[in-house]
Structures are given as C-alpha cells and as structure tokens.
Amino acid sequence: MKKTLLALFSVFSIVFFTQLFNNNNVHGNSSGSPAGYTGSPLEFSGRTCGSGGGCHGGGSTFQTNMITSNIPVSGYVVGQTYQITATVVSVGRTKFGFQLSPQRANGNTAGTLIGNAQVQVTGSQRYVTHNSSSNTGTGSRSWTFNWTAPATGFGPVTFYAAFNAANNNGGTSGDIILNSSLIVNEETPQLDIAIEGEPEICPGESVTLTSNIATGNQWSLNGSPINGANGTSIAVSTGGTYSVSNGGQTAQVVIILNSAPSTPIISTSNPQNLLCNGASLTLSTTSQDIVEWSNGVFAPSIIITQPGTYTVTVTNNCGASTSAPVVVTSANTPAVPVITVNGTTSFCAGTGNTTLQSSTSNGTLIWQPGSVNANTLNPSATGNYTVTATNSCGSATSLPTVITVLAPPALPTISANGPNTICNGTIITLTATPSENTVWQPTNENGSSLQVGISGSYTATNSNTCGNISSLPFVLNVTNQPTQPVIEGQFILENYCDGDSVLLEVQLAPGDSAVWLPFNISSNSIIASSTANYSVQVFSSCGNAISNEVPLVFLEIPATPFIIQSNDTLFATATLANQYQWLKDGIGIAGATNNFFIPTVNGIYTVQAINSNGAPCISNLSNEVNVVISSIDKKNNLLFSIFPNPALETIQLQFNFDNNQQYSNYEILDLQGRSIQKAKLETNAVISVANLENGVYQLIVSKKGVLGRMSFIKL
C-alpha cells in the first residue's frame, strides 16, 4: 500500500541589502531573510515580503517550476535524503534571495532541512534561506540543498518558496517578488525480498538479499534479529530462514547451504621437498573425495623422482578444491670452495682494497668471521677468513685465509692533574691517553705527558706507519691575584632616611664573583637601604681582595607629631625627633624649631618633627590647631608660671604675688581628668615629677581661695 506526502517549500521575500557598485553601502537581509515570509497559505495568511505586510510593495507573483527535486514520481521514501533546488530567473538582475519551508497539510514542518555553504536553516529548523555568500548571480540564481523525508504516515508534503530578484537600488521599491510551490507524495511499497543468486549455495559462496524498502528494515535469521542488520541489503553465507520486517510487514526466504569439499593438504616425505643427489620423495593427501594429482595420477599418494610443481584436486557434487602447490627441486651437495685473494693480505685499516672471492657461487655463501652472505668479501679486520657454501643438500667450507689489518694510531685524549684555569706560578701535568709516539704542540716535545704553566692551547699527536691523529686542544688559562675592588655608584657619605635606597656596584673580571658585606650577598651589585658599613669582597680562582668600607646611615623618620594646646602654648609630641618646624597656615615660621610654640596671632598651626642627624628626615604634618588669641585665658597666667616646661625630674612654680603669703595644696591631673599626684605645696614651690610617665598634665594650685591651673609636659 502506498502513501503520499505533500512537501511544502516556502521562501521568504528578502528585503535585500545589496552591495552598491560605486560605494560600500550594504542593504539589509543580504545574509538571510527573517522567518515567516514564505507565501505559504498555512501561515501568516500566505504573506511574502511583497504582500501581507511585507516591506516591499507591488505584491507577489506565483510562478511554477521554480522548485525541483530528485524525489521520484512514486513519492518519497521515509527517512530518505533528497536533493532540492530553488531557482529564480530575472534578466538583468544581480542580487537574489529566497526562503523555503516544507509543510504538512496542517501547516506543521515536514522532514528535516540540511544547511550547507550556500544556505542556512532558520526559524527552529522550519525555514531555509540564502546567506551572504550566495546572494549574487547574473540574471538568475539557484540554491541546492538536502531534505530528509519524515517518518512514515506523514502523507503529502508541500514545499512553499518565495523569491526576491532585487534591482540593487538600496531601497524596497522596484524589486520583483515571486513565489512557487512543489507537492510530493509518500511512497509505501509492499514489502518483498529479492534474491541475487540461487537460494542453494555451497561453502564459501554467498547470496545477497535485498528489501524493496530502503530504510527502516530489520533482518532476522531463524526468527532472531541480526545485530546491526538494518540496511536495504544483507549478504548471507549460511543456511536458514531469513526474514525482514518493516512497518508492520514481514517477508521471508529460505537459503540452503550444501557442503563443499575442503581444501586438500599435501604431506611430503621430505620437509624440504628436495631431491638430493637423485633421491625420491612421496606426496600424499587424506581426502576421501575424488583425488587427482596435477601429473594426471588418480591415487591417494604418488612417488616423485623429477623436480616440478605439484598440486592435488578433490571433487564432489558441490564443486572442486585444489591444494596449495608443492614445489619439488633437485640439487647436489656443493663442492668445497677455494678462496682467491685479490690484493695484499696485510694493509692499514681503511686503506686496503683487498677482495676475497669464492671459487663457487652455488648455494648460500657465508663468510666468517662476520657471517657475511656474499660471493666476495672485503675484509676490514685481522682474522682467519673462511667461506661456507650451503644448499638444501648440505654444505662445504674452504681452507682459511689469514688477513692482517694494521690499526691507525688511536685518538689521544688529554687529561690534566689540575683545572684548566690556574694561578700564575702553578705547574700542571697534561697526559695523553692512549700514547703512541706522542708529540706535543706547540712545545714539540715527545712523551706521554707534558708539564705546563703558561697560557696556551696544547694538543697531543699519536703516529705509526698507518698515519697520525691529534687530540682536541686543551686550553690553559693563567690568572693573577685579584686587585682591591672599588665600590661604584651614585652615593654620598651622608645620612639617608628610611625608604631611601642606594645602588652599589663593583666591576668583575670574567669568572670572578663578589660577596657584599656585612650581609654576605653574592652579586655584582646591591641595593643598600639600611644602616651599615658596606664593603665588597671579590673572589677569583687565585685568591680574593676586599674593598674599603662605605658607611651609610639610614635614619628613622619621626612619628607624626600631635599638638596639644595648654593656655597660650602649643606643645608637640613625637618620637625620634630632635628638631621641629612650626607652620602657620601651611607656611614655615622662621626660628620656630622647639617642641613648643607660643602663638601671637590667630591662625591654623601645624608642626613637623625632624630627625636632623645629617640628612633631615621629616615626619608627616601634624594635626591642625585653630588658635584664636582672644580665647586664651590669661587669668591663670597672672597667678604663677612653671619652669622648666617640658620637665624631666622636677618643676618649680614662680608666683606673681607676695611669696610670704600662705601656700595651699597642689594636684596633678592627666588628660582624662584623673588625679595622679597631690600634696601640700612646699615653701620652695618645687614639685617632683620623676615618677610620672611621659605626657601632658594639668597642675592645679590654690592660694587664699584663688584656684590656678596650668599645663606642663613630662619628658
């Protein structure tokens, strides 16, 4: 029963971006059209790019025979791949495009489109269209691609296609929009098996069974599926019932295997099949079928007295089979060979042209020593040479010929009892191994060894009657004690600050090395970044020498100072500082280099701490203090003053009123307002602060009920 399948081909009308002739402007969709403009009435109301909302005006013209294929008239076979060609013809046009879609009667996609270098598959595998390399032509353009038919039962398939023959004007007007279609049916033949040959076969023969349906087959033997046998045909060489199943149908044939005679084997009474010195041999076979020898004798065995090629053929009703040939030869034991010497029997190695030749060339000739298989031999080593002639009937060996090959002198190798670089005044011994009439150069001295102490290239030459040969040169270098090195670099013998670095270098002779002290760093240079007395020691194979010291000092940069205001005085605290620089509004104040400063005008005051041992190492800028002179409380300053301030061990108060009046108590507070020390004020107004930690403190005193307060710094 046959089924038909309609194939739909639709091609999108292209809004074609073409390359203009006189410029490089490119127009849209030259590399492929968007999906859904195929002219198919089953989708988008049959729109093309010239109708149904397309970007071109003027509508679309239907034209037949624009789509062709190699699908037979009887219809497509399911799963089979076919070739589809879409062609547009428009005289004078050079830019073309298309879009095509295979569709079932319900509008669904039918089968599988296969892209290639000319076309691309788009729209979830529903459409095929041109690409940027296949959009040109001269009056026409064709696109050829493959389509794989769908599964059985799909019925007719319609191929819808739409085409654009563009006028290359860069716009949407003036282009020719065409559409076409092609309908194909599905072929559903009755399953059958064709036999190529006879259904009865003999061993070694085969017969080909072919299904009339190309795909979807499953072959079986005696009811069991044959693994991997899913093709159109199968070659069989065994008997049984063969069947093929496809789409619910089954067909079968019976193949009968008859016996055929096996290939006979010839056995021989002489494994070498050789008739030596007139002897005979027997050839036999064990086959139970009709036996005929190639010499015309019908018998299980024959006696051979003549050389030749023999076979045996066995025959039954399924055919005949012939054995492999047996070649019978005849020979005699070889005669004893005689060696002829062409040349001298004594010569230097590599210079002799002596050839040894055998008197016979029958059989295989093997020369000893060396096991050389040849009619002649060119000896290259001393030895007693013989030649043995061998064939299947035996062998014979010649008398020995004595050959003496004189060896050339051996290549000497020079060894030394010391290094090849020595110090001035040192003597080493060179020895040649092996030594044979050895002569040394450039001294022209004889002997197996030579004492040397001068720079130069020394060779040893061995010689005998067969020539001479020289060693590789031994190059001796003589060096002196190194001189005192000098440290080079752009440095000054002054102090540096932390973070600075100085490159120190030393020039080295080839083969020398350097070690920088006191860090024991091996290099020809060093980056100095810490305080030390730098020196470099140079080493050579003949000694060492040390440079003068370069003292470099790297000072620590003081910590960022902090300003504390006490009454009318600003105090700076910092570590590692031995000098300060006060600034007002970012400008340095001349002469203001103490750790305290009494401002006299309003402004923003900062300070920098300086470690000035040599190069000045300056800290970061302190916190800012905004000083307003009118805000300084001078009232307390009328009561007393403190000196020294800052203080180390003691402070003394100087009062601005009658010292005979009665003193009262004092109390020292830290910056958190905690009471650190208090007592009655002594008559001399001296207070010990030795036990206080370094920092800023408040001193409170009272006199006749008047309370005074002032800050001081403990160092």
- CA-angle at 179, arms to 174 and 183, nearest 5°: 170
Task: Give the mean model confidence (pLDDT) for residues 251-260.
Answer: 87
Domain check: are 93 and 174 in the same one? yes
Domain check: are 361 and 379 in the same one? yes
Task: Give the mean model confidence (pLDDT) for residues 222-244.
Answer: 92
CATH number for the domain harbouring residue 650: 2.60.40.3080
Domain check: are 11 and 101 in the same one? yes
pLDDT at res. 162: 94
Task: Give the mean model confidence (pLDDT) for residues 522-531.
Answer: 90
- Rounded CA gap, 221 and 229, in Å? 10
Residues 6+ apart with CB under 8 A from 555: 495, 496, 497, 498, 611, 613, 614, 615, 617
Both tokens of 596, joined, read 């305290």
Domain check: are 513 and 640 in the same one? no
pLDDT at res. 369: 92
Domain check: are 402 and 418 in the same one? no
292 within a domain of the structure (yes/no): yes
In the listed set 234, 257, 280, which residue is the last one of a domain according to the structure?
Answer: 257
490 within a domain of the structure (yes/no): no
- Rounded CA gap, 70 and 59, in Å? 31
Cα 698 → chain centroid: 75
pLDDT at res. 459: 95
420 within a domain of the structure (yes/no): yes
Q: In this model, does residue 634 exceed pLDDT 60?
A: no
Domain check: are 315 and 243 in the same one? no
pLDDT at res. 477: 87
Q: In this model, does residue 590 exceed pLDDT 50?
A: yes
Domain check: are 673 and 690 in the same one? yes
CATH number for the domain harbouring residue 86: 2.60.40.10
479 within a domain of the structure (yes/no): no
Which string of b and e fits 487-514 if b means at least 16 CB within 10 Å? beeeeeeebbbeeeebebbbebeeebeb
pLDDT digits (tens, 9 = 90+) for 121-136: 998 999 999 999 999 9
- Rounded CA gap, 311 and 264, in Å? 9
User: Domain residues for 42?
Assistant: 6-184
Instruction: Tell me which residue of 316, 317, 263, 309 sits closest to 286, measured CA to CA.
Output: 263
pLDDT at res. 128: 96
619 within a domain of the structure (yes/no): yes
- Rounded CA gap, 415 and 433, in Å? 8
Task: Give the mean model confidence (pLDDT) for residues 91-100.
Answer: 93
CATH number for the domain harbouring residue 274: 2.60.40
Average pLDDT, the chain: 84
Task: Give the mean model confidence (pLDDT) for residues 261-271.
Answer: 87
368 within a domain of the structure (yes/no): yes
Task: Give the mean model confidence (pLDDT) for residues 488-517.
Answer: 85
Domain check: are 44 and 176 in the same one? yes
17 within a domain of the structure (yes/no): yes
pLDDT at res. 11: 32
In the listed set 167, 184, 201, which residue is the last one of a domain according to the structure?
Answer: 184
Other CB atoms closer than 10 Å to residue 648's CB: what's the count? 11
The structural domain count of the chain equals 8
In the listed set 121, 156, 184, which residue is the last one of a domain according to the structure?
Answer: 184
Domain check: are 104 and 71 in the same one? yes
Q: DSSP of 418-467, one letter per residue? A: S-SEEETT--EEEEEES-SS-EEETTTEESSEEEE-S-EEEEEEEEETTE
Domain check: are 162 and 44 in the same one? yes
Q: At which residue do the structure tokens 């679309």 appear?
A: 60
Q: Judge whether 667 and 674 are in contact, CB under 8 Å.
A: no
Domain check: are 375 and 418 in the same one? no
Task: Give the mean model confidence (pLDDT) for residues 420-437.
Answer: 90
485 within a domain of the structure (yes/no): no
* Band (10; pLDDT cuts 50, 70, 90): very low
Domain check: are 49 and 146 in the same one? yes
